[in-house]
Structure 1
Amino acid sequence: MSNYQIAYAWDIKRSMIPTLALFEVPHEAPRTLTIGAKYDKTKRLYHVKPIEQSVDLSSLWEKMVSVIGDRPVFFSSYKNAHAQLGTILKEAGLTFLPFDQVIDLSWIKHALSGVAHLSRKPQKGMSHVAIADALASLPESTFALYSKNARTAAEREWFAHIADARILRTARFAQKMIQGLSFRNLEPIERAFEREDENTTKREEESLADQAEVILSERLPALHTFSYESRPSQRAMLRAIAHGLQNDEHVVAEAGTGTGKSLAYLIPSLLFAAQGGRRVVVSTHTLALQKQLIEKDAVNALQAIDQEISVTVMKGRNQYLCLRKAAHVIREIPSRREDDLTFALQTATWVTHTETGDREELSLSAEHGHLWREVQSETESCIARSCPFFRHCYYYRARQKAASAAVVITNHALVLSDIRTDHRVLPGYDYLILDEAHHLEELATQHFGAEVSEREIRRMYERLNASRGGIPDLLQSLRVRESSGHTESTPYLSVLTRLQDSMRQAVDAFRDVVLHAKNVFHRDEAEQRITKDLLLSPSYAPLTQSVLALGDTRSGLEAALRQYDNLSPSEDLDEMLYGRMQDVFGRGTEWLHALEVVADVLLLQKGEDAFVSWVTASRRPHGTDLTFSIAPLSVRHLLFDHLFAVKRAVIATSATLRSGGTFQYFLNQTGLALVDPPARVKTMVAASPFDYRANVLLCLPNDGPAVDDPAHLTYTARSIESIVDAAKGRTLVLFTSYQMMVECDRLVRANLEQKRLDLLTQGREGTQRHALIEQFRASERAVLFGVQSFWEGIDIPGSALSCMVIVKLPFAVPSHPVIQARSEHIKKQGLNPFVVYQTPQAVIRFTQGFGRLIRSTSDQGAVFVLDRRIADKPYGSIFLKALPNPTIARGSLSELIGQARKYFMAR
């Protein structure tokens, strides 16, 4: 069993014991409790500080219980910490605290992520006081919210003295309260956002490329704020991008790991935007890279340029908090259900310190992620200037900053949303940088398509029909106002009743659709494509009729929504009530769109020649759940028409854009091959500065079974055990199948634990991706199993990652409807889809995975590929040629492990 350390602190000002924290400590440490306190006059709380001497658990627990007395104890470490402590004490023959004296505050680590970093295990620079610091930062009004929610006498003792419960039930107080919690450092929006006039200035005689190179080669190293090493490939890339921006050319640049591509495009982009008065949008796929750009790379580039250049971040609207909705959630805290109460408290706490309203700051747990929809900003429910919080709106504040910025850092999803909405999302721009551009085709396929599940549609309906915050609640409020003589409520009552009736008819029709659909699509976890032949088959006829009937009910919904749109907003209607009307009808519009997707998919209403439609049947605890999906057959013309044909310069860069030594696959799939004249598209390769031949051993075992042999699973498991033993952990294992990853986990976990190796597996126990990576980075003997997203975006330099295992070559599943339809389309053109589509796609994915190992000049290690196709099949050479020239070793697994062991020992 693990050992634990327990810490506590108390608040002298409030005369109580607030915090009891439980931490795991190394196996070698004795099971003891440490006590000690240090008073910091700048904080409200006493801080725990371990003392040099420790006593046995029994003596210390007895002392702690006498100090605690009958006051409340707050657990602030991680979920179920109090249960684990109870087990430890029981094993030692000791008695735990009474149930109503224990209060679990583990949730607060999410809400306060911007104030203090909290961890399951104490880390360097961390102590037990982090949670105390976080609690100490909260204003009195936040404690008032908790006092209204007290579940036990102990909680009430801690929170009771702040506020009267009745004031939380009024909309006016909710508005006043939330405004008191927020905006401490924010200036209000004094005017609606506008696109800033593009003030042009004369460019200097010196070329942009020359200016940018001076910044990179001379000014940046002179900063001494970070370690910088000049790289010829980085300078070449910088000059190519500067030339492209200045001459209205598209540039496709593959930049190997370690090139420093971020600075290679940021420096010329910043200079170009400042000198020409033209806005440049910089887009990434991952939040991690976006964060790196805004917090590190852009800061360094701006310091080196030494000019006033405005840079801001713009995210999707749903990523921002709607203060009107948050006020409603906070006002309802006294009546929240147990299952979503934590989310309401997190939101209330977070509002006390956020300056951006960015969801990322909140770090919602997986179980509360879906509740974000209650407070997110949305176009459909926004009441704009009618909103009492408009002057402080986080979303409009972000838009205003973007409209006046020279450089806007955003993500690919928002760029694609801007295209879909005829460029109404981002401020106007003609110059675009696309980093992580190898994702462009896949993201465009998702973005120009649609997907909705049976469960989502049911949840949306339940939310609309909820007794609290839904249509029944709103009808009751309107009836009360009408009975009090407020006649302005009458037309709203009428249209809301019509919406409710239409929704009841529609949900009944949808249930009928689902019933018939499950008779057609019944293979668990299989994507089943819908074709014209299936649509015309006799077994499909009942489903067709039910979808047509659903269409009739959708007409009633559309009529109710139109009626609401035609109503003139009443000045006499309470602002909060009007906002709730917008919420309901906004959700109604969203629900209607979801039903339209179902019809589009099941009846091929967008055409089989242009779109692919399919249904996935997934087994859930409550039964089978259907997901309805539709995607464009090709996105190349969409991207060309709306991006490459209309933007003056687009720079597409990534570490992996080539396959077979050329860019042709990327150019074809994204529509860049359609640019006329072709000379307007420039391509270049910025080679990695790392010495892969000296630092990477690529091991290709030749004695394993074929990947389609049932024995390959057992072979993989035993191979992983041997490899990670040689590497002493420090290994990333990449799978192409989630099911195979789970099976391998089952086969190897016990053996790895016996060897004192920590196995971290994606998806196990709900641990989030970033948390797994941090645990892996912090551990000296860890093995990380991952699939899909773990093939890229992991940056672990140094000895923490010394070995990789690639279980199979990452070919897409050929039976997936999109892959299948696109392959059929390619065949009709007389081409081989495996050669021109599936293999290039897999090669790019493979090189991304391979790139996880070497992240700095001092890194070295070994990569094992357990798929014999890389050596035995003719196309295997394409994968090998795509790699940056590592040392390749072939032989039996045991021989290769021997070489790898010597290689690791050289570290």
Structure 2
Amino acid sequence: MARAIVRREPLVAEAGTGVGKTFAYLVPLLLSGRRALVSTATKSLQDQLFLRDLPRLRDTLGKPVKLALLKGRTSYLCLHRMAQARESGSFPDRQSIRALARIETWAAATRSGDLAEIDGLDDRSPVIPLVTSTRDNCLGQECPRWRDCHVVKARREAMAADLVVVNHHLFFADLSLRDSGVAELLPSVDAAVFDEAHQLVETGLQFLGQQLGSSQLLDYARDLLAAGQSLARGLADWPRVAGALELAARDLRLASAGPLRELRGVVKLRWDERAGQAAFQQALESLAQAADAAQDALVAVEGAAPEFGRLAERGELLARRARAFAAPPALERVRWIDVGPRDARLIESPLHIRDLFTEQRALAPRAWIFTSATLGSDDRLSWFTEAAALEDAPTLRVDSPFDYPAHARTWVPRHFPKPAEPSHPAAVGALAARLAGRLGGRTFVLTTTLRVLPVIAQALQDAAAAAAEPLSVWVQGQHPKRTLLQRFLDTPRSVLVGSASFWEGIDVPGEALQCVLIDKLPFPPPGDPLVQARSQALQAEGRDPFDAYYLAEAAIALKQGAGRLIRSEDDLGLLVIADPRLRQMPYGRRLRAALPPMGALDTEDDAMAWLDEIVSRRSG
């Protein structure tokens, strides 16, 4: 790390759980005296670095380093929009009114304006879009509260700091939109460090493409109506203009969903499943026309208030995107449609982010450091280096110091339904009930899809009840992620059933978690449009998609899920993978090699005996 910083070189470093990779890059950064940018995966990890790790190290090392935290716009209170929200009196529910009152009380005392300071404020609260700004609706220097703007203050502090902590979403959003200040900050730093770098590729793809969604239209219609009625009443038929946008949003959602009804989660559709259909094409054209009409109405009153100029720009962008999605996609890009219970999003994405990193590395000599616990299954860390155009970068692998052979076991049931069989989810739930019953809860069940989540959870509850085993089963979607995890920790004999968001970034050391059950091997879904496009690109290069892509992705995901089990040197645990293909198929050996070196068990009796030993050690 230190050599890469001093020589301004790239480095890709995989460090197993317990190595202390955070301190391994922070210490040389602080000692170097170089200006640095640190990017991590989530806002909560940002807060941990900025509020806990960095101040502690700075004080210990005696380095007077000026630190700054920079998040995206929607993390900061917008004073102007908060006042507008109170004046409009239009709220989706009573909880939003109470939430706004809490925010107003907090706003009088906060210095940073970071909404994360408010305990218990759900980041999914519908009041948050009402009191924060976006690139589209920010008034910039024409805002009456510009001098007090929390976003402007955060950017100013970042530009004056020696070390700035950002997140991956902000990094890519800024490089593509140049909206948050990172684009101005990056050229001035000597080192850029990306923690949890395994998430960079997928995060980057989200921002290098473009999207058009029905909720985006509804937000625009709401903002237009509020501004028109309060600032230019009578100068246009604002309800009619906004109503046309709302109708266009509804028609886009209906045309995207097609025959799909009563959706519980998000369904990803191939572009060719809807493109070319008359209703879909008509929805896009109606959307463009409604956005054009809104733009015309706004331009006519543009001088009345600065809001109207911004709204007109948003209308122009929506019309342009609608017409772009009506045309065929460009080469090297893939489109699909995400359809949910209340929203539909049209998405176009590049197949990779190689060009972006190649371009950024060529701009100026600086250290580019990428680190994570999971970056590949070979010494060259090819899974990550190929995706990020870093084949020329030095690589480093540091194994976990934990004694996995002594403290953990893995078990793959030999006689078990295969994942394609209808009985598989219920069998997973019943197995989870037996394991958690023996252990006294302390179990995670990780699923590869949201679809099987309720089936497994119900089977688990039924089996526990039949065996008279009192278990508290917490299921993803019942509560916000943070609340769900806290209830798992606070409630005796708990089992948590979760999907993608619980496979990584969850740290439960000690006796609270001692069994992780993975329902099946986490291969990328073959019907996913992006997966299909990547497979076709590999075939065109003469490579085997299963070997080069599917197995590599599954190995990384499996490694992430297994990483939830042992989080400290004293932890004990059992990893169960309820997929007999891991035993039966030739590729099973490669996937097992990606896991930590745990001892292997053969039968359920062996697994139960190991759980008994864990309980015995715990009580002893």
Q: CA RMSD in A?
A: 3.0
Aligned to 1:69: none
SS in 1 for 2:461: helix
- Counterparts in 2 of 1:899 and 1:511: CA distance versus 1, 3 Å: closer
1:833 aligns with 2:545: yes
1:595-606 equivalences under 5 Å are 595-604=319-328, 606=329
> In structure 2, which of residues 555, 558, 561 is the aligned counterpart of residue 846 of structure 1?
558
Aligned to 1:4: none
Which string of whole-angstrom CA distances, capped at 9 and with x for unpartnered residues, describes residues 8-62 of structure 1? xxxxxxxxxxxxxxxxxxxxxxxxxxxxxxxxxxxxxxxxxxxxxxxxxxxxxxx
**Alpha-carbon shift at residue 552 of structure 1 (Å):** 4.8
- Looking at structure 1, the residues matched to 163 and 526 of structure 2 have their Cα atoms a distance apart, in angstroms, of 41
1:245 aligns with 2:5: yes
> In structure 1, which of residues 533, 538, 544 is the aligned counterpart of residue 281 of structure 2?
544
- Looking at structure 1, the residues matched to 49 and 24 of structure 2 have their Cα atoms a distance apart, in angstroms, of 12
Aligned to 1:528: 269
> In structure 1, which of residues 610, 618, 624 is the aligned counterpart of residue 332 of structure 2?
610
1:794 aligns with 2:506: yes
- Counterparts in 2 of 1:502 and 1:853: CA distance versus 1, 3 Å: same
1:472 aligns with 2:196: no
Confirm or deny: 8 A CA contact 1:861 1:904 kept in the other structure: no
> In structure 2, which of residues 197, 200, 207 is the aligned counterpart of residue 440 of structure 1?
200
1:638 aligns with 2:356: yes
- Looking at structure 2, the residues matched to 399 and 699 of structure 1 have their Cα atoms a distance apart, in angstroms, of 50
**Alpha-carbon shift at residue 796 of structure 1 (Å):** 1.1
**Alpha-carbon shift at residue 456 of structure 1 (Å):** 4.2
- Looking at structure 2, the residues matched to 857 and 461 of structure 1 have their Cα atoms a distance apart, in angstroms, of 55
The structure with higher relative contact order (CA 8 Å, sep 6+) is 2
Confirm or deny: 8 A CA contact 2:256 2:280 kept in the other structure: yes
- Looking at structure 2, the residues matched to 894 and 591 of structure 1 have their Cα atoms a distance apart, in angstroms, of 64
Confirm or deny: 8 A CA contact 1:544 1:603 kept in the other structure: no
Aligned to 1:257: 17
1:68-83 equivalences under 5 Å are none
Confirm or deny: 8 A CA contact 1:660 1:878 kept in the other structure: no
1:260-275 equivalences under 5 Å are 260-272=20-32, 274=33
**Alpha-carbon shift at residue 422 of structure 1 (Å):** 4.9
Aligned to 2:170: 414
Aligned to 1:864: 576
- Counterparts in 2 of 1:559 and 1:648: CA distance versus 1, 3 Å: farther
- Looking at structure 1, the residues matched to 257 and 15 of structure 2 have their Cα atoms a distance apart, in angstroms, of 48
SS in 2 for 1:896: helix
1:817 aligns with 2:533: no
Name the amino acid aligned to 2:420. D
Which string of whole-angstrom CA distances, capped at 9 and with x for unpartnered residues, describes residues 826-859 of structure 1? 1111111111112111111111111111111111
- Counterparts in 2 of 1:798 and 1:337: CA distance versus 1, 3 Å: closer
The alignment covers a number of residue pairs equal to 610
Q: Say which one has the larger Rg.
A: 1
**Alpha-carbon shift at residue 462 of structure 1 (Å):** 3.7
- Looking at structure 2, the residues matched to 425 and 830 of structure 1 have their Cα atoms a distance apart, in angstroms, of 42
- Counterparts in 2 of 1:401 and 1:809: CA distance versus 1, 3 Å: same
Name the amino acid aligned to 1:810. P
Confirm or deny: 8 A CA contact 1:752 1:759 kept in the other structure: no
**Alpha-carbon shift at residue 704 of structure 1 (Å):** 0.9
Confirm or deny: 8 A CA contact 1:699 1:896 kept in the other structure: yes
Confirm or deny: 8 A CA contact 2:377 2:555 kept in the other structure: yes
Confirm or deny: 8 A CA contact 2:37 2:164 kept in the other structure: yes
- Looking at structure 1, the residues matched to 36 and 73 of structure 2 have their Cα atoms a distance apart, in angstroms, of 20
Which string of whole-angstrom CA distances, capped at 9 and with x for unpartnered residues, describes residues 431-467 of structure 1? 21000000011001111123343244235324432xx
**Alpha-carbon shift at residue 792 of structure 1 (Å):** 0.8
Aligned to 1:397: 153
- Looking at structure 2, the residues matched to 334 and 669 of structure 1 have their Cα atoms a distance apart, in angstroms, of 46
Aligned to 1:626: 344
1:418-497 equivalences under 5 Å are 418-422=174-178, 425-426=181-182, 427-428=185-186, 429-430=188-189, 431-465=191-225, 469-476=226-233, 493=235, 497=236
Aligned to 2:585: 873
Per mean C-alpha deviation after superposition, the further-off stretch among 372-381 and 866-875 is 372-381
Aligned to 1:144: none
> In structure 2, which of residues 73, 81, 84 is the aligned counterpart of residue 328 of structure 1?
84
Aligned to 1:704: 416
Confirm or deny: 8 A CA contact 1:377 1:395 kept in the other structure: no
1:577-588 equivalences under 5 Å are 578=305, 581-582=306-307, 585-587=309-311
**Identity rate of aligned residues, in percent?**
28
1:301 aligns with 2:57: yes
Which string of whole-angstrom CA distances, capped at 9 and with x for unpartnered residues, describes residues 750-775 of structure 1? 443642222111112xx111111112
**Alpha-carbon shift at residue 279 of structure 1 (Å):** 2.2
Which string of whole-angstrom CA distances, capped at 9 and with x for unpartnered residues, describes residues 312-368 of structure 1? 100012211111222333456699974632232122222133221112223565597
1:649 aligns with 2:367: yes
- Looking at structure 2, the residues matched to 560 and 643 of structure 1 have their Cα atoms a distance apart, in angstroms, of 45
Confirm or deny: 8 A CA contact 1:437 1:654 kept in the other structure: yes
- Looking at structure 2, the residues matched to 330 and 508 of structure 1 have their Cα atoms a distance apart, in angstroms, of 26
- Counterparts in 2 of 1:518 and 1:370: CA distance versus 1, 3 Å: same
Per mean C-alpha deviation after superposition, the further-off stretch among 591-600 and 860-869 is 591-600
Confirm or deny: 8 A CA contact 1:523 1:617 kept in the other structure: no
Give structure 1 stretches of 5+ with no counterpart.
Answer: 1-240, 480-492, 568-572
- Looking at structure 2, the residues matched to 562 and 334 of structure 1 have their Cα atoms a distance apart, in angstroms, of 25
- Counterparts in 2 of 1:511 and 1:657: CA distance versus 1, 3 Å: closer
- Looking at structure 2, the residues matched to 351 and 321 of structure 1 have their Cα atoms a distance apart, in angstroms, of 8
Confirm or deny: 8 A CA contact 1:613 1:817 kept in the other structure: yes
SS in 1 for 2:512: coil
Which string of whole-angstrom CA distances, capped at 9 and with x for unpartnered residues, describes residues 219-263 of structure 1? xxxxxxxxxxxxxxxxxxxxxx11111112100000110111111
Name the amino acid aligned to 1:761. V
1:673-822 equivalences under 5 Å are 673=391, 678=392, 681-752=393-464, 754-764=468-478, 767-822=479-534
Name the amino acid aligned to 2:317. H
Aligned to 1:236: none
Confirm or deny: 8 A CA contact 1:314 1:408 kept in the other structure: yes
- Looking at structure 2, the residues matched to 788 and 644 of structure 1 have their Cα atoms a distance apart, in angstroms, of 35
- Counterparts in 2 of 1:334 and 1:903: CA distance versus 1, 3 Å: closer
1:552-571 equivalences under 5 Å are 552-558=289-295, 567=303
- Looking at structure 2, the residues matched to 328 and 727 of structure 1 have their Cα atoms a distance apart, in angstroms, of 53
SS in 2 for 1:705: coil
**Alpha-carbon shift at residue 563 of structure 1 (Å):** 6.3
- Looking at structure 1, the residues matched to 91 and 207 of structure 2 have their Cα atoms a distance apart, in angstroms, of 38
- Counterparts in 2 of 1:283 and 1:644: CA distance versus 1, 3 Å: farther
- Looking at structure 1, the residues matched to 360 and 132 of structure 2 have their Cα atoms a distance apart, in angstroms, of 28
- Looking at structure 2, the residues matched to 412 and 706 of structure 1 have their Cα atoms a distance apart, in angstroms, of 37
Confirm or deny: 8 A CA contact 1:705 1:715 kept in the other structure: yes
**Alpha-carbon shift at residue 649 of structure 1 (Å):** 1.7
Which string of whole-angstrom CA distances, capped at 9 and with x for unpartnered residues, describes residues 850-873 of structure 1? 111111111111111111121211
**Alpha-carbon shift at residue 305 of structure 1 (Å):** 2.0
SS in 1 for 2:409: strand
Confirm or deny: 8 A CA contact 1:660 1:882 kept in the other structure: no
- Looking at structure 2, the residues matched to 818 and 657 of structure 1 have their Cα atoms a distance apart, in angstroms, of 20
Confirm or deny: 8 A CA contact 2:453 2:497 kept in the other structure: yes
Confirm or deny: 8 A CA contact 2:517 2:577 kept in the other structure: yes
**Alpha-carbon shift at residue 510 of structure 1 (Å):** 5.8
